Structure 1
Amino acid sequence: MTGRVRWILILAVLFLLTTGCDRRGPDGEQVDPREKIVIKFSHVVAEDTPKGQAARRFARLVQERTGGRVEVQVFPNSTLYKDGEEMDALQQGAVQIIAPTTSKLGSLAPQWQLLDLPYLFQNEDEVHRALDGEVGQKLFAALEAHNVHPLAFWDNGFKQMTGSKGPLVHPRDFAGQTFRVMINSRVLEEQFRCLGARATGLPFSDVYGALASGQVDGQENTMSNIYSQRFYEYQPYLTVSNHGYIGYVVLTSATFWRSLPPDIRRIIEETMAEVTLWEREQASRLNDENFRQIKESGKVQVHMQTAEERREWQEALEPLYRNFRPVIGADLLDEVFRLKAARAPGSGRELSE
């Protein structure tokens, strides 16, 4: 290599280092690395799910809108922490944002078990009216006492039943089988007992292996999770029941939140509100798309629950409402029922063929 070529290469490298890697604030000045805020955002699902896509979008927008002052590092698919570990990691400051399913919060604040009750909501419209209103405010307030600051509700979607031993059409079809449930949810454990089945709590990252090995016979989940995690490969029977809602709560610690400058908090709040609306649209679209892909795989026998079958399941599961009313709080349940009664006929949507 000639001396001239060597100097050209050196100058090219210097140019890249001083331009391509430059981080500047909104006023055009370079961000001091000592002042840069790094936020680790840990979650347990795949990147191509509604939550995974929304987390990436949120990270990109916050970095852009703070001029590089804030960097949100997203860790999907349990690469940092599993279901049962992420809340401790948040409270210990190992991560700054998590987005667990609402079921994971029942052991922290029993009111959150409300959202695990089967057939509580018929569609996303009812869910959003409750969680964006007084019901959501009361649930959020229950977390503040635990040094947890809620930022948003994100959708996953409505749960469907899958199994390996035969179609799940009537409550009697569950008898003697074992189903995986999300950890920390007494409601979900009792749900399967009401159906005559056994419940086994497992972290989300362990579900595929449990289905493949036959440790469990079935599970309940949204279409996007069933497809992205390939659960359908070992679950040849799918009942589209829309029997329960899975949502996420985006959380940070109250201590970390108070440590942020006011302008950064404002940008995060505004960006989170914007991304939340986008995420909900993506969740609806992805569940429909993944349902189509599951059917086209040729590996699954799909049963669409009829109105009569729905009534059978509701009757079998009715004891859950009586047993958990004092645990969850009569005021929360009554507020949801009031909202449902006031809902305009025909609003909302459900997953269908």
Structure 2
Amino acid sequence: MYLMRKLTTALALSAALTTAAFAQEIVLKSSDTHPDGYPTVEAVKYMGELLKERSNGRIAVEVYHSAQLGEEKDTIEQTRAGVIDLNRVSMGPFNGLVPETRVVSLPYIFRSTDHMHKVMDGDVGQEILAGFEPHGLVGLAYYDGGARSFYNSQKPITSVEDLKGMKFRVMQSDIFVDMVNALGANAVPLPYGEVYSSIETGVIDGAENNFPSYESAKHSEVAKHYSLDEHLIVPEVLVMAKSSWDKLSPEDQALVKQAAKDSVEKQRELWEAREKESRKMVEDAGSTITTPDKQPFIDAMGPVYEKHVTDEKLKSLVERIRAVQ
């Protein structure tokens, strides 16, 4: 009888310790295609620091940078399946899944970075975040992705006419494909990790991205001509697997949401500094930067809007974005 009581006590203690250990640590696995030190990577690390501090060490974030868990399209599916907990992703790959993301992926929808911030920090931004939930994801926050512009290995681009017949890599998004084609160039959807070798071997003439990506991915080594047409100012999004979210207590959900929100200002500060630094680095390394007249680029986007803004909800979002001052 004594031995039985002792065994029961030991089992109960073991179970309690296991439960306590489980309660002590929640490790959230996070993915990013960009390299270590990139502003989005550092922002998610900062979010992890906030969570660790505010949860007294119970919640931690492990950031897998440099596409260690796969390219963005693959990691989106892994996140929806709950294999990855957190994912910082560009908006483009979500265009076919979350209709609301198409609007903020439209060329020249934002007049400036400040305009984009006002929109995404307001009601429109919250409405778009809510659009992720039916697809197994919880939208947490938006990060800056800068202004995307064309760069290539062949010649300076000073007008729309200079793009005719050239081959440019785009993200796997119908909007981006149609945007490039509307300018008279040829869009080639490719994973981010294949861009350098594709330019180097002549499979494509160039790509389009912001200064930090152009510099950090070393595309500036093989594509020396950067044209500041700024056709896209697309926010990036931090999402969480709905299945991982649902495992958290309401209190921990609140901690995660607030830490994500608080990481935004940090990311914006890092982004602004990195953008200036990257531009100087590529200029010092010999890249030429031209600034074409944007109006002909804007005028060419009519067919893109007609094709992708088809229902009343998306049309309303476009109007509301344009109305934000």
The counterpart of 2:289, out of the listed 298, 302, 319, is 302
Alignment partner of 1:154 is 2:143: yes
What 5-or-longer segments of structure 2 have no aligned partner?
A: 1-16
The counterpart of 1:143, out of the listed 111, 122, 132, is 132
Tell me, in whole angstroms, the C-alpha distance in 2 between the residues paired with 1:222 and 1:156: 7
Tell me, in whole angstroms, the C-alpha distance in 2 between the residues paired with 1:84 and 1:217: 23
1:31-73 per-residue CA deviation (whole Å, 9 max, x = no partner) reads 9443321100011111222101112212222223222211211
The counterpart of 1:236, out of the listed 224, 227, 232, is 224
What 5-or-longer segments of structure 1 have no aligned partner?
A: 1-28, 344-353
Q: SS in structure 2 opposite 1:165?
A: coil
Alignment partner of 1:171 is 2:155: no
Match of 1:81 in 2: 70
Tell me, in whole angstroms, the C-alpha distance in 2 between the residues paired with 1:229 and 1:180: 14
1:293-332 per-residue CA deviation (whole Å, 9 max, x = no partner) reads 111112x111123xxx211111222222222221572111
Tell me, in whole angstroms, the C-alpha distance in 2 between the residues paired with 1:147 and 1:92: 8
1:119-160 per-residue CA deviation (whole Å, 9 max, x = no partner) reads 111211110111111221221222111121110011121112
Match of 1:285 in 2: 273
Q: Is the 8 A contact 2:82 2:242 kept in 1?
A: no
Tell me, in whole angstroms, the C-alpha distance in 2 between the residues paired with 1:122 and 1:295: 25
Match of 1:335 in 2: 320
* Number of equivalent positions: 307
CA RMSD of aligned residues (A): 1.8
Match of 1:191 in 2: 179
With the length of structure 2 as denominator, give the TM-score of the two structures.
Answer: 0.90
Query: Which structure 2 residues correspond to residues 1-353 of structure 1 after superposition, within 5 A?
Result: 32-35=20-23, 36-183=25-172, 185-298=173-286, 300-305=287-292, 309-326=293-310, 329-339=314-324, 343=325
Tell me, in whole angstroms, the C-alpha distance in 1 between the residues paired with 2:89 and 2:171: 11
Give the superposition deviation at 1:105. Answer: 0.9
268-277 or 174-183, larger mean C-alpha shift: 268-277
Q: Is the 8 A contact 1:222 1:246 kept in 2?
A: no
Q: Is the 8 A contact 1:48 1:228 kept in 2?
A: no
Give the superposition deviation at 1:99. Answer: 1.1
1:265-318 per-residue CA deviation (whole Å, 9 max, x = no partner) reads 2222222111111111211221111111111112x111123xxx2111112222
Q: SS in structure 1 opposite 2:84?
A: coil
With the length of structure 1 as denominator, give the TM-score of the two structures.
Answer: 0.83
Tell me, in whole angstroms, the C-alpha distance in 2 between the residues paired with 1:107 and 1:303: 33
| Identical pairs, percent | 24
Q: SS in structure 2 opposite 1:110?
A: coil
Look up the equivalent residue of 2:146 and give its one-letter code. Answer: G
